[in-house]
Structure 1
Amino acid sequence: MHKSVISLSIAAALLAGCGSDSKKAPEPVNTPPESRDVTYDVRQSVRLNGQLEGKDAEGGITFSLVDPNEVKLGTLTINDAAKGSFSYQTDALEGTEVVRFKVSDGKSESISALTLRIKGGDPLYQHQWHLKNTGQNAFARNRGVLGEDINVNDAIASGATGKGVIVAVVDDGLEISHPDLSANVIAGGSYNLITGTVDPTPFSNSASHGTSVAGIIAAAGWNGIGGRGVAPEAKLIGFNFLDRDPSREIRNVQTFENFAKSHGASAYSDRARVFNQSYGNQPVIPGLMRENEFEVYQQVTTKSFNGKGSVFVKSAGNGYNYNFLGYNATGQPRYLLPKDFYTARDENRPANKGLPYHNANMSPNNTNLYNLVVSAGSANGKRSSYSSVGANVFVNAPGGEFGTYNPAIVTTDRAGCDKGSSVTQERPRTPFNGGQHPLNLECDYVSNMNGTSAAAPNVSGAIAMIMSVNPSLSWRDIRHILAMTSKQVDVNIQPIRVPLNTDASQLYEAVPAWFTNAAGFKFHDFYGFGRIDVSKAVAMARNYKANLGKVRISPRCEIIVL
């Protein structure tokens, strides 16, 4: 019995040790998550990638916005809810966003504020439809069409700005002291072909063409004034190749010597990888370019920068409706018009059977293999009414219309209300010009820049953007990227057919519709390979892998890929 009692006592003790007590084990203590206020500075149009602050001792937290409607000036996206990484982008000129975010572990949460300070935007960017077309009117009577632009947004947001690329503006000169250009002008890098100094500012107060061209290429971005260039951090050098000597000591500035100085064949200009040539003529009959100029184009394109070469961008001309022949001895403009120019207007039909009066191929420099020829497009996505066209057009870019009825390009003008196109006037061509608009009281900008002269610098800026993200690209790579990424516009345009003789039943297709060429690319005589798309071009340049092979150019300029 004694042994049995001991056994029962041991068994009872064992059962007691196996949890017969009703008390539960204590649960682990939950530590509330912590968060902290965060502040970032933001640049207009540039994507900010940031990090929300939060932590929890046990881990396993998520980040979210308390109220997404608190974001009013831009777009805020939490990219990783577990880590709190986010991106933010805005086109606002300035302002502050305060957005609450919370950190939660599923049981408790902590709330803090994200402050986004938008600074240094460009006030005229909202009117620059060629960069981002929202349907704005750019101070004209009529509006453009949403989306008909060169699509710079994603490229700018990704950080591409044209930095490190030099663009030469070969024009009537360049006002290097302009407040919206000076930051991007290389000090001492320009050349005055008349005086031999480093200031190519035009002699005439009314001369503003090159200054406006330069603004389209690389007006400084995020400085709180004016607009923005396509490549807002590219560098500029200028040459007054189209200027006139007021003393008449130099009768002709446009000599071959000055051509070489300003087009990459001298130390004055050989640092440029892009040459913008918003000039040309519209001859009555086709002409031949000078052989020595051709040699300059060839050598600079194929041999400079260790064989990568520079790119020459050329405006196609403004002669679709008539030929501008220059000025007579009294300074009056001279034109060559189609026979039915005036009667066609009265009869509400196109003159010259709707055909272009000046074909871009008639201008010698435009048929040069090494010039990348650009036609102009309007804010509605179609050919600008004046733009010369032809089979030599490589791409299309915004040139706008005349700015009064339909949008032109908003860009830099000569500084001050006594110089350039925008001067003090009681009845200016647009309400933006004339010195009374609050965004242009100093008359430093103009809203009626147009022509293929405005289209070419859009392409020069685009090329600077491409080169800035991949400096190893050659001149052929640049062209390939543009051909691959440009957008087919005006897709339903019909061919232009005209009767061969008096028999209206026999029609000749003088201008075909869009067609696919032998290389498999869509092409049109009005638009080349299409309107440039900067963001697509920059994206392709970043990951460029194409091998174009070696090339041999025959004496007739036929390209043969080996």
Structure 2
Amino acid sequence: MSEPSVRWAEQQVVKRRVKRDFLPRATTNYRSTWMNDPKWPQMWYLNRGASLDMNVQAAWAEGVTGKGVVVTILDDGLEKDHPDLIKNYDPNASYDVNSHDPDPMPRYDLVDSNRHGTRCAGEVAADANNSICAVGVAFEASVGGVRMLDGDVTDAVEARSLALNPQHIDIYSASWGPDDDGKTVDGPGQLATRAFVEGIRNGRGGKGSIFVWASGNGGRDQDNCNCDGYTNSIWTLSISSATEKGRVPWYSEACSSTLATTYSSGSLGERQIITTDLHHSCTSSHTGTSASAPLAAGICALALQVNRDMTWRDMQHIVVRTARPENLEAPDWHINGVGRHVSHRFGYGLMDSYAMVQLAKNWTSVPTQRTCEVDAPHVDKLIPQKSFVTLELDVADCPGVNFLEHVQAKVSLTAERRGDIEVYLSSPAGTKSTLLAQRPHDNSRSGFHSWPFLTVHMWGERPLGKWKLEIHNNGHFFTNGKAEVKEWSLLMYGTETEPGQVVPTLTGEHPSSVSHASDHTAHQVVDTTEGKTETRDPDTETTDYTSSAAPPTPSPQPLQLGSIKKALPPGCSRVDASGACIECQKDDYLHDGKCLQSCPESHYAWNPQEKGLAGSLTCRSCHYSCRSCLGPQDYDCTVCWGDAELYSPFEGQNHCHPRALLDAYRNQQSWYTALLFLLLVLLVLVLILAVMVLRSRKASSHLPLNLSGVPNLGKMGSKKPTANGSTGYTPVSRSDSDQLMTKVPFHDLTSDEEI
């Protein structure tokens, strides 16, 4: 049925999403005794020193503890009243998506299956020096929890979790993903993808939400995390694990999208991670890449504390520049085209807290992110069994991209058995990445359809020159395991100028107004959906869409407001060099560089003065499900789009749910009501029938014993009339007793019958 008002619709399906822990198979050396938390001496990954830990104590020694930074754990719930978490618990960073209420408390069962989120939260922000359990990496950061894994996980559930309160939450930590079984290829749906894009574009006042993701535990099944669309994404900071001895854990997945590593569990005899647990307890056995991602989130919180102006891309650049490859043993360490060590197992190495904090203090935000896509000639190249093809692509021009960050090879191919395929990408500088290794358990014939294999190994290299895509088919002849490349292209992300260089300031502006350490820094991020570049002031959240790759040319004379007063747009009191308004008059709302008397559709009015901040009234985006709203959350809707209607499961919460889903839900509820009524009627009928049967049996038991038809009845005894009309009884003779026992059925008498 065609509906003109329907912009997009999709049936929600339940997805398999697994937590990335597992059941176990069977620099300066700072003193580690100043913490009074009982488990502190055993926290080897934080206190070994000698470059054998993540250098957290050196950051703490400078007073950097994550204070003011908000981290939320997307998981199965959070025991918010845990004595080691309650001090840092943040209700504004918490929500129960499974039950649609603000309380993220986990559901308790006999096996504590929902302990995962509480364990991850303790790694980030367990309180320090309180004589309880352990200590978090960022022990003064605020921590929240989103309960979203304890129920059906759909695209909408993921989107609501990823989009929770993006102006308040700085870092989202996720230790889950599709099945790590070596045969699944899956990633975010349309709604979750949109939540990611909205997060990096608009989160944190335009600086972008920081998403930290566990790379996966499919090592035993030879899985590859480039088949996981969450870790294989430019928007996430993908984290792998190293054991206590600096080795590759048995559960670790190798892939070219992993950016860096933190410590976690290993083989028998190697220690695991200590953290908070359910029932106000403590555990020394947190494991897997599930334990690695929260440690990374805590370290990012330390860096973010010293520079609140860092963008989501700044954080990735800092991780790449400071990660340490030493003391990590892997067979595939190699040096890329700009001299950095990188591995498919460990990314750029072990995260270094102190180095990240020091670099963040004086960090200049990276230039605007640019993208260019280069399509390869249509190939339809057949790859016979036990052979490979090398496809070359000359990149002569990549406008706006001179220094690479992420590189994606979008590949479409068919294969009789997908697990037989290997894919490699080589850059013009000679750096070779394994985009896909063999997966023995993957018997699918689905192939890949424009799947964006990601590599971060070319970070900092130049894009121009000859790229090589090498595809191996390891199929067997007796299975007719042919493969064919249908098409492929390169999607390259990067910057026009080298990151880390000082960006010229506008003449006439005070240096502090554009310094990265100021509250008035302009942060630039890419709009990956519409090709727009946004420049946002964190106080007023103004937006300047430009099409030029280069920064504006500084004016040779100071920019005087009086000289351009006549050119000011209506309601505007101050503009930037491009003429876009950055400050409105008292009662006007700033939106997209213009001053409006009221906010447009799908936006709400935000007053920075209510938060104690300076700046103009601003129009901010509603949640994508709302046509109009009172705030940024999905429960702040006031008017819905044409295909949805308001639904209020709790007082003060107004969601916009698709009308078709609500109708289906209501129809289902009516069927439940009818079915329940029918069951009650049947139950009443059964009870009536049972009563009638019992009464019938009792009535039959009071009838006189009918002995007719028994032979020789007169000899055994009978009742005869007496002279006065009464009835007498002739006893049974002894000689007839055996005959009585064999001829008369046995019958238990009730007490009434005996009388």
Structure 1: gaps of 5 or more residues:
1-74, 76-88, 94-119, 135-145, 245-251, 323-356, 417-443, 495-512
The answer as to 2:355 corresponding to 1:536 is yes
Q: CA deviation at 1:126?
A: 1.1
Kept in 2: contact 1:169–1:214 (CA 8 A): yes
Query: Retained in 2: the 8 A contact 1:382–1:489?
Result: no
Matched, 1:409 2:316: no
Q: Distance in 2 between matches of 1:240 and 1:492?
A: 36
- Give the equivalent residue in structure 1 for 2:341: 522
List structure 1 segments (4+ residues) > 4 angstroms apart after TM superposition: 554-557
Alignment match of 1:217 (pick from 114, 124, 130): 124
Structure with bigger RCO (C-alpha 8 Å, 6+ apart): 1
SS at match of 1:182: coil
Q: Residue 415 of structure 1 aligns to which amino acid in structure 2?
A: H
Determine if contact 2:303/2:360 at 8 Å carries over to the other structure.
yes
Which of residues 196, 200, 205 is equivalent to 1:297? Answer: 196
Tell me the distance in 1 between the aligned counterparts of 2:33 and 2:286.
25
Q: Within 5 Å, which residues of 2 pair with 1:13-52?
A: none
CA distance in 1, matches of 2:273, 2:363: 32
Structure 2 letter corresponding to 1:211: T
Structure 1 residues 232 and 381: alpha-carbon distance in aligned structure 2, compared to 1, 3 A threshold: same
Alignment of 1:491-502 (within 5 A): 493-494=330-331
Q: Contact (CA 8 Å) 1:186, 1:236: kept in 2 or not? A: yes
Q: Label 1:204 to 1:188 Cα distance change in 2 as closer, same or farther (>3 A).
A: same
Residue 190 of structure 1 is aligned with which of 72, 87, 94? 94
Are 1:167 and 2:48 matched, yes or no? no
CA drift of 1:196 comes to 2.5
Partner of 1:158: 62
User: Could you say what secondary structure the match of 1:321 adopts?
Assistant: helix
Which digits, 9 at most, give the CA deviation of each residue in 1:186-234, with x for residues without a partner?
A: 1454111133322212113302111000011111112221111010111
What is the alpha-carbon distance in structure 2 between the residues aligned to residue 372 and residue 397 of structure 1? 12
1:313 to 199, 204, 212: 212
Residue 174 (structure 2) pairs with residue 277 (structure 1): yes
Question: In 2, distance between residues paired with 1:222 and 1:474?
Answer: 32
Distance change >3 Å, CA 319–CA 396, structure 1 → 2: same
Contact persistence 1:163–1:234 (CA under 8 A): yes
Question: Does the residue aligned with 1:160 lie in a helix, a strand or coil?
Answer: coil
Shift of 1:271: 1.5
User: Is residue 2:290 matched to residue 1:460?
Assistant: no
1:490 Cα shift?
A: 4.5
The amino acid across from 1:132 in the alignment is N
Quote the residue 1:227 is aligned against.
134
Q: Distance in 2 between matches of 1:455 and 1:288?
A: 21
Quote the offset at 1:285 in angstroms.
4.3
User: 1:470-527: per-residue Cα shift (whole Å, max 9, x none)?
Assistant: 1011111111111111100356643xxxxxxxxxxxxxxxxxx222223432210001
Secondary structure, counterpart of 1:275 in structure 2:
strand
- In 2: Cα distance, 1:358 partner to 1:174 partner: 29
1:257 aligns to 2:156 (yes or no):
yes
Letter in 2 for 1:398: Y
The structure number with the bigger radius of gyration is: 2
CA-atom RMSD, angstroms?
2.1
The residue type equivalent to 2:248 in the other structure is R
* Count of residue correspondences: 347
Partner residue of 1:549? 367
Q: Is the contact made by 2:245 and 2:270 (CA closer than 8 Å) also made in structure 1?
A: no
| Cα shift at 1:463 | 0.5
The whole-number CA distance in structure 1 between the counterparts of 2:40 and 2:293 is 19
Pairing partner for 1:199 from 99, 103, 112: 103
Structure 2 residue corresponding to 1:91, chosen from 28, 32, 37? 32
Give 1:133 shift: 2.3
- Answer yes or no: is the 8 Å Cα contact 2:173–2:212 preserved in 1: yes
Q: Distance in 2 between matches of 1:266 and 1:151?
A: 31
Contact between 2:272 and 2:285, CA under 8 Å: does it hold in 1?
yes
Q: Cα gap change, 1:236/1:522 in structure 2, threshold over 3 Å: closer, same or farther?
A: same
For residues 491 and 187 of structure 1, the distance between their equivalents in structure 2, rounded to whole angstroms, comes to 38
The amino acid of 1:363's aligned partner reads D
TM-score by length of 1: 0.59
| Mean CA deviation greater in 282-291 or 125-134 | 282-291
Helix, strand or coil at the partner of 1:236:
strand
User: Which residue of the partner structure matches residue 358 of structure 1?
Assistant: 223
Closer/same/farther in 2, CA of residues 180 and 316 from structure 1, 3 Å limit? same
CA 1:291–1:212: 2 relative to 1, 3 Å: same
Q: 1:285 to 1:549 in 2, by over 3 A?
A: same
Cα distance in 2, alignment partners of residues 533 and 382 from structure 1: 17
Measure, in 1, the Cα distance between the counterparts of 2:81 and 2:371.
42
Amino acid at match of 2:321: M
Q: Distance in 2 between matches of 1:520 and 1:301?
A: 29
2:161 and 2:189 map into 1 onto residues whose CA distance is 16
Aligned counterpart for 2:145 among listed residues 231, 238, 258: 238
Partner of 2:495: 561
Seen in structure 2, the aligned counterparts of structure 1 residues 204 and 558 have a Cα distance that, compared at 3 Å, is: farther
**Alignment partners' CA distance in 2, 1:474 and 1:230:** 21
Picking from 25, 34, 45, the partner of 1:130 is 45
Would the aligned equivalents of 2:169 and 2:204 in 1 still touch at CA under 8 Å?
no
Q: Which amino acid aligns with 1:237?
A: G
Counterpart residue type for residue 372 of structure 1: L
Amino acid at match of 2:63: G
Instruction: Give the superposition deviation at 1:387.
Output: 1.1
2:172 is paired with a residue whose SS is strand
Change (3 A) 1:130 1:492: closer
Q: Per-residue CA shift, 1:418-468, capped at 9, x if unaligned? A: xxxxxxxxxxxxxxxxxxxxxxxxxx1111101000000110000000001
SS in 1 for 2:213: strand
Q: Which residue of 2 is the match for residue 388 of structure 1?
A: 253
The equivalent residue for 2:239 is 374
* Residue of structure 1 equivalent to 2:312: 475
SS at match of 2:299: helix
Query: Which one-letter code corresponds to 2:358 in the other structure?
Result: A
Does structure 1 conserve the Cα–Cα contact (< 8 Å) formed by 2:74 and 2:117? yes
Q: 1:270 Cα shift?
A: 4.3
Amino acid aligned to 1:456? A
Q: TM-score, normalised by structure 2?
A: 0.44
**CA–CA distance in 2 between the matches of 1:288 and 1:304?**
21
Check whether the contact 1:189–1:198 (CA below 8 A) recurs between aligned residues. no
Question: How far apart are the structure 1 equivalents of 2:272 and 2:311?
Answer: 32
Instruction: Give SS of 2:84's match.
Output: coil
CA–CA distance in 2 between the matches of 1:243 and 1:369?
Answer: 27
2:37 counterpart letter in structure 1: D
- Structure 2 vs 1, CA of residues 306 and 519 (structure 1 numbering), >3 Å: closer, same or farther? farther
SS in 1 for 2:220: coil
> Distance in 2 between the 1:400 and 1:186 partners?
29
Q: Is the counterpart of residue 148 in structure 1 residue 52 in structure 2?
A: yes
Equivalent residue number for residue 397 of structure 1: 262
